[in-house]
Structure 1
Amino acid sequence: MLQNQPIKRLGGWLLAPLAYLILILLSNTVMLVLYGMALSSETSRAQLLAGSPGMALPWFVSLLTTLGMWLFSAWVLWRFTQRRRVLPKLYIFWLLVGVLLAIKTFAFSPIPDELAVRVLLTPLLAAALLAPYFTRSQRVKQTFIE
């Protein structure tokens, strides 16, 4: 980058990936609140622990996956706002993790196929649009320089 060029601020089309990141973080927060409500309710906790391990184990794995994705999303958001140089690759990796989690939901969750396709479609569309933007955009290259 040339010395006489001003540092680009977060703005323009970069607000769309930022908004998507914040929405995913908020949806993971809602999911964690729901998990917390289920764990704090004595009846639901008793049903979960009294059931077969085949029922409780996927529930706890899902809880840990949601917590991990929340932490990862918060870290990516923090890096995004600091305009770190590593952010474009980190954001693309975050998008791919979201796609993998959606594929896991599609393949292993006992939900109707229509809902599973909707769950899969959003991360696929986001990755298809945002990954090329983060790899090729001059705006991205000029913004994430710290």
Structure 2
Amino acid sequence: MSTTSEVRIGGWLLGPLAWLLVALLSTTLALLLYTQALMAPQTFATVAALGTLQAVMWYATLAFAIGMWYYTLWLTIAFFKRRRNVPKHYIIWLLISVLLAIKGFAFSPVNDELALRQLLFPLLAAALIVPYFKRSTRVKNTFVNP
């Protein structure tokens, strides 16, 4: 009979978990804002008046926000269940976050200081968390469930 016990989520893994939970809250709030905008009667007329390219970009942004929310929710559930594929998907999720921040930095008509701040946090998180997920024995011992 084996007496080995599974390693619980703890230590430095609480940081990536907190980042994931904050991102889930953030994307949920963003989707609520999109839903509120979609409920307004003048939204579709305003989007149609923007032109075809701008309307397509608005709907594509909405689709990406929904997709990112589902992926973040799935990853959060898998993180708590300590699934084996969490480290790989967490790294993919971080890279998608960096790409979306770069898209916002390059194409959004916002102040450069705000865009740079929005880009800094995903880059910093990816720079710190990816090597930890790749090399840590705690990560390898925690995420063992199929």
Equivalent in the alignment of 1:50? 49
For the aligned residue pairs, the C-alpha RMSD in angstroms reads 1.2
Equivalent in the alignment of 2:28? 29
Percent of pairs with identical residues: 51
Residues 90-119 of structure 1 show CA distances to partners (whole Å, capped at 9, x for unaligned) of 111111111111111111111121111011
In 2, Cα distance between the equivalents of 1:126 and 1:24? 12
Equivalent in the alignment of 1:141? 140
Which residues in structure 2 correspond to 1:1-146 (within 5 Å)? 3-146=2-145
In 1, Cα distance between the equivalents of 2:53 and 2:110? 17
**Matched pairs, number:** 144
SS of match in other structure, 2:109:
coil
In 1, Cα distance between the equivalents of 2:89 and 2:30? 23
In 2, Cα distance between the equivalents of 1:52 and 1:116? 25
> 1:125, CA displacement in angstroms?
0.4
Give TM-score, length-normalised by structure 2: 0.93
SS of match in other structure, 1:7:
coil
SS of match in other structure, 1:114:
helix
In 1, Cα distance between the equivalents of 2:121 and 2:23? 11
> Contact (CA 8 Å) 1:38, 1:45: kept in 2 or not?
no
Unmatched segments (≥5 aa) in structure 2: none
SS of match in other structure, 1:42:
coil
Give TM-score, length-normalised by structure 1: 0.93
Residues 42-96 of structure 1 show CA distances to partners (whole Å, capped at 9, x for unaligned) of 1233212233113211111110111111011111111111111111111111111
